[in-house]
Amino acid sequence: MEFYASLTINRCHLIKLTQIWAQYHPGQDFPFRRAIISPLFARNGVLEMLYQQRKRCKVMFDSGGFHVQQGRITLASASRRLRKLYSENAWANRFVLPDTPVVSGDSKDKVAQKLRSTRRQYRSFPAGFPESVRRRLLPVVHGTTSQEIGSSLEVAQFVGSQGLGFGGFATSGPNSGVNSFTPNTLRLLSVFSSFCEQKRLRTHIFGIGGPASIAVLNYAHVHTFDSAGWIRAAAYGNAYLPFVGALNVTGSSNSHRFVSRAEFSRLRKWTGHKCLFCQDHGVLMESWRHRALHNYSTLSQAVQDLKHTPVSVALERLHVFNPRFARYLQLILDERARLAATPTN
């Protein structure tokens, strides 16, 4: 499993982040090995920076589905503009198809309408692209039931892509902008990943990826995921730790538990986390950029560590640090076992 860091951010912030990274890692002037960016809403200069780094950073172009969901752009307009952008920037590694995300508050009729709109993109958007680009297109699968997911999967595979994306998580927060696990969405993820395994398609997960979440995704046989959480959490004063999640280190967040310098240090040791950006707790408290790079490092290291971590060990650590996510992981394991034992047509 690999992590795509969301870089739909201001160019000045990206420059400063890379400068700080280089100070701590001499000879490494660009920290991001995989990045996702929405070209429709990219800040001036960021796309050019990623183009310059294309040999060392794999880049995925997002479709801006969240902005369609928010009404900032219509699906038709997004589709038309993305077709032009993708054609002009064929250097990127993956190209997400236009979609209309489903959110938790949608009625059944609204869900059905959105699914029809997204499925139409599966058929119409790839037309005219050369095979070299078509293989790199990434359809996004939505749905609120296994039947809806299954119907979308059947249509999406005919895009001719090497992989499929899953966007069917529960949503909450302002403008339904936060994706999260629920027992139902994890069952849907199991259906999705099992289908892709059978068809030998790579899987990508959109918009979710905290330290506890990725321990669940890893054993759901997910290949790649993206998240803006690493930088969003930092802006709210939160620092990640493996298996634990986000902890507030500034005292400025109402949504996450505040931990003292001593408690954070103790949790760092218990989880085995080490990175250069959290060695000075005072800097971690004062600088959101250092917190962002700490969070990025935490996720990147955790992804690599999970490749060599038996599922029994991951379950044990989650039981200690985050029991709710231990239950989520067990649900995924049980659901995958059930699906594997279920005859398919």
pLDDT per residue as tens digits for the range 129-145: 999 999 999 999 999 99
Alpha-carbon distance of 307 to 2, in angstroms, equals 10
- Residue given tokens 């939505």 in the structure block: 142
How many Å apart are CA 124 and CA 116, to the nearest integer? 12
Please report the beta strands in 50-196, taking only residues with DSSP state E, as ranges in sequence order: 58-61, 94-96, 137-138, 140-141, 163-166, 170-172, 178-180
Does residue 8 carry a pLDDT above 80? Answer: yes
236 closest CA partner among 252, 224, 220, 225: 252
Identity of the highest mean pLDDT range in 66-70, 147-151, 207-211: 147-151
Residue 254: is its pLDDT beyond 90? no
Residues 192-229 pLDDT 10s = 999 999 999 999 999 998 999 999 999 999 999 999 99
Beta 163-166 vs 202-205: how paired, if at all? Answer: parallel
Question: Interior CA angle at 308 toward 320 and 331, to 5°?
Answer: 50
d(CA 206, CA 74): 20
Averaged pLDDT, 221-238: 95
Phi (first) and psi of residue 37, to 5 degrees: -145, 145
Tokens representing 287?
Answer: 């600088």
Summary mean pLDDT of the chain: 94
CA distance 239 to 26: 24
pLDDT at position 178, please? 81
The model's pLDDT over 17-41, given as tens digits with 9 standing for 90+, comes to 999 999 999 999 999 999 999 999 9
Which of these ranges, 118-122, 173-177, 180-184, 185-189, has the smallest mean pLDDT?
A: 173-177
pLDDT higher than threshold 70 for residue 344: no
Dihedral sign for Cα 224, 225, 228, 234, please: negative
3-state class of 45 per DSSP?
coil
Tens of pLDDT, residue by residue over 157-183, are 889 999 999 998 988 877 767 888 999
Residue in the block written with tokens 């990206």: 14
Instruction: Please list the residues that pair with 241 across neighbouring strands.
Output: 245
The label of the residue with tokens 């060599």 reads 308
Q: Give me 261's structure tokens.
A: 């310098």
Asked if residue 164 lies in contact with residue 186, where contact means CB atoms within 8 angstroms, the answer is no
What's residue 43's pLDDT? Answer: 83
Per-residue pLDDT averaged across 87-102, rounded?
96
Q: Distance between CA atoms of 143 and 120, rounded to whole angstroms?
A: 15
CATH architecture classification, 2-227: Alpha-Beta Barrel (3.20)
- Residue 345 pLDDT > 60, yes or no? no
Residue 272: pLDDT band with limits 50, 70, 90: very high
CA gap 238, 205 in Å, rounded:
23
Q: What percent of the chain has pLDDT over 90?
A: 87
Can you give the pLDDT at residue 77?
96
How far is the CA of 300 from the CAs of 28, 81, 143, in angstroms?
Answer: 15, 32, 29
Q: Under the phi-then-psi rule, with left for phi > 0, alpha for psi from -120 to 50, and beta for the rest, what region is 64? A: left
For the segment 285-317, what is each residue's pLDDT rounded down to a tens digit? 999 999 999 999 999 999 999 999 999 999 999
Q: What is the pLDDT of residue 218?
A: 96
So where are the chain's domains?
A: 2-227, 235-306
Q: How confident is the model at residue 126, as a pLDDT?
A: 96
User: If you ran DSSP here, which 8-state letter would residue 102 be given?
Assistant: -
How many whole angstroms from its chain centre is CA 261?
Answer: 29
